[in-house]
Structure 1
Amino acid sequence: MKIKYISLSVEDLQLSRPYTIAFKTISSVENGILRIHSEDGRTGHGAFNPIFEVVGETLTQAVALFRTDEAEFLAGRDIRELNQLCDEVQQKYRQSPALRTAFEIALYDLFCQNLQVPLVRFLGRKIQSMPTSVTIGILGVEQTLEEAREYIARKFRILKVKLGKSIDEDIERMLRLHELCKDDVALIVDANQGYDRAELLRFKNLTAKCNIRLIEQPVKAGNEHLLAGLPDDLREKLVADESLLSVKDASALSATPLLFGYFNIKLMKCGGITEALKIASVAESSGIRLMWGCNDESKISITAALHVAFACANTGYIDLDGSLDLKKDVVGGGFELKDGWMTISDKPGLGLETME
């Protein structure tokens, strides 16, 4: 099956409600939607929505870098050359993790449609289904509890809470949440680089009874040395997020003694499926488990991340709720969400259904 042409559009997917993280409030969502069209009428879908504060790239910059005539280096190529095509994409768009991600997702989608197998089966399925966490932004205590009650009523059993602006309020929020959830609902927190070493230890000690499963990126990227010598039971819960953008970062963070027990892999951070699998392999060789995360993204890239996550035996958590608060999307299908658990479609490729 040969590639005919590539198209790119920017879609305003909108948010059902704004939310706040440590460094900004998000109230709207635009995604780049990339489509690779084959000569036999099939379409591979890719999507991207980078966060500048993490990868140094905006959606506008990525779109400006895309040129239809330049992207036509894929025209006439055989999709069965998947690895070669991905290599060329990685080289051509080296400065744009967003475009690398979108191209690779679309290529893998089209390739597996041609094989008539789901992407996860091609990669080697290790996991059938998992519960996803669902995210509560930085809110006041009562608003946090109100949102938590809503998610619990919808049968989500893992809540991820954004922290990092005020440690005193962070501690109060978690203590109150634990009173609400007891041990029926697991709690994960994301400090978004908001703590220093002393604050992290204070947070750990004062929330000890909350049974917090994971603490994402407590210190600023580049300050990982502050985590050295922390108690083993704390470091085992720590998740590298902004500290982990590449395979090179993964290798450095895999050196002993380990500072993080988990790696948070986001396709938008590392630049696609190929790099994500390399990071996952480095982690597995060092006994590090995986958490798969996302931004506010179309179901296209969320589904792709889910397929890759389910192909990795060391996946411990998924945080793939990025399409759940969108008012609209350009595709349906892909995955099923029931009582907080995510399951992949058995349809070829990503199993997406076009809504155009």
Structure 2
Amino acid sequence: MNIKSIEVWRQNLALSRPYTIAYHTTTEVENAFILIELENGMRGIGAACPMDYVTGETLEHTLAVLQSEPIKMLEGKPIERFQLYIKWFREAFAKYPAALAAFDMALHDAFCQTIGLSIVDFLGRRIKKMATSVTIGIKDVEGTLADAQEFVDGGFKILKVKLGQDLQMDIERLVKLRERFGYKIGIRVDPNQGYSYRDLLLFDALTESLQIELVEQPIKVADMSITSGLPADMRDQIAADESLLDARSAHKLLVPERSCGIFNIKLMKCGGIQGAQEIANVALSAGIDLMWGCNDESIVSITAALHVAFSQPHTKYIDLDGSFDLAQDVVSGGFVLEDGYMWPCDKPGLGVTIV
């Protein structure tokens, strides 16, 4: 089956709940979309939300890549060779992982529809469902508790709390969460590179009784190698995020000694499903757990991340709440969310409906 046409556009999805992390505040979100239509009328869709503060890729870069002549040249080509197309474009556009991710997932979606399989079943499903964390931005204690109460009332079992601006306030917020909810909820934290090495040691000592599940990218990327000197149990709790871009950076996190125990894979950092699988293979060989994260993204790319996450036996955490606070989207469906648990729809491809 040949590719009939390729359409690319940008869209502001807006946010119903702006939030703050250690180094910026987000009030709205624009995504780029690519739609690949086959001659039989089936359409595969991909979405990109570039992380310019991590990868240096802007939305303008993303759109330029997706609208480039090499992409248009795929019109008339057979969808069955989609994996080869992804390989070509990963080599040509290696500096633009979000664009690659959108291209990758759109091709997977279109191809899997032609064979009548969901992407996760095409990749090899290993997980049926899993609880996702839901994110609380940097707020005062009152705001933190208010958001937490709303999420817990909504059935969520795991909170991820953004930290990194004020260590004393960070500790107070976490203590108050435990006082309010006890230990019936899981707590993960993300300082977004906001801590020094000394801060990290102090944080670990002061939160020992709070049963923090994991600490995501606590220190700056340039300093990440320092954590290789931490005790093994502390490293086991550290999830590399901004430090983890691709399989090459995954290897660097492991030598000469591993600096973390968890890889946080985001499709927008690694270039899509193929790139994510490469990182997952590195992790599996080294005994590293997988976490799957996101930005503020369309249901399209959140669903793609969920599919590849559920194809990996060492996926231990998902943090795929990026579409929950969007004011609008271009698709519906994709995944089921029930009492804080997520799982992909059992439909061919991504299982989304374009609205």
TM-score, with normalisation over the residues of structure 1? 0.98
| Percent of residue pairs bearing the same amino acid type | 48
Match of 2:240 in 1: 240
- The total of aligned residue pairs comes to 355
The answer to whether the Cα contact below 8 Å between 2:236 and 2:260 also exists between their aligned partners in 1 is: yes
The answer to whether the Cα contact below 8 Å between 2:12 and 2:29 also exists between their aligned partners in 1 is: yes
Match of 1:148 in 2: 148
- In the TM superposition, residue 208 of structure 1 has moved relative to its aligned partner by 1.0
2:272 partner amino acid = G
Match of 1:55 in 2: 55
Match of 2:38 in 1: 38
Q: Secondary structure at the match of 2:9?
A: strand
Q: Which moved more, 1:130-139 or 1:251-260?
A: 251-260
Map 1:1-356 to 2 at 5 A.
Answer: 1-67=1-67, 69-255=69-255, 257-355=257-355
- In the TM superposition, residue 213 of structure 1 has moved relative to its aligned partner by 0.4
User: Any idea what the Cα deviations from partners look like across 1:282-324, whole Å, max 9, x if unmatched?
Assistant: 0010000000000000000000000000000000000000000
Q: Secondary structure at the match of 1:343?
A: strand
1:203 partner amino acid = F
User: Any idea what the Cα deviations from partners look like across 1:116-144, whole Å, max 9, x if unmatched?
Assistant: 00000010000000000000001111100
The answer to whether the Cα contact below 8 Å between 1:262 and 1:288 also exists between their aligned partners in 2 is: yes
The answer to whether the Cα contact below 8 Å between 1:131 and 1:340 also exists between their aligned partners in 2 is: yes
User: Any idea what the Cα deviations from partners look like across 1:261-301, whole Å, max 9, x if unmatched?
Assistant: 10000000011110100000100100000000000000000
Runs of 4+ deviating beyond 3 Å: none
Q: CA–CA distance in 2 between the matches of 1:246 and 1:345?
A: 28
The answer to whether the Cα contact below 8 Å between 1:45 and 1:106 also exists between their aligned partners in 2 is: yes
1:46 partner amino acid = G
The answer to whether the Cα contact below 8 Å between 2:15 and 2:28 also exists between their aligned partners in 1 is: yes
Q: CA–CA distance in 2 between the matches of 1:267 and 1:216?
A: 17
**Aligned-CA RMSD value:** 1.0
The answer to whether the Cα contact below 8 Å between 2:32 and 2:47 also exists between their aligned partners in 1 is: yes
Structure 2, unaligned runs of 5 or more: none
Structure 1, unaligned runs of 5 or more: none
The answer to whether the Cα contact below 8 Å between 1:133 and 1:318 also exists between their aligned partners in 2 is: yes
TM-score, with normalisation over the residues of structure 2? 0.98
- In the TM superposition, residue 68 of structure 1 has moved relative to its aligned partner by 5.2
Distance 1:147 1:33, change over 3 A: same
Distance 1:69 1:256, change over 3 A: closer
- In the TM superposition, residue 65 of structure 1 has moved relative to its aligned partner by 3.5
The answer to whether the Cα contact below 8 Å between 2:15 and 2:326 also exists between their aligned partners in 1 is: yes
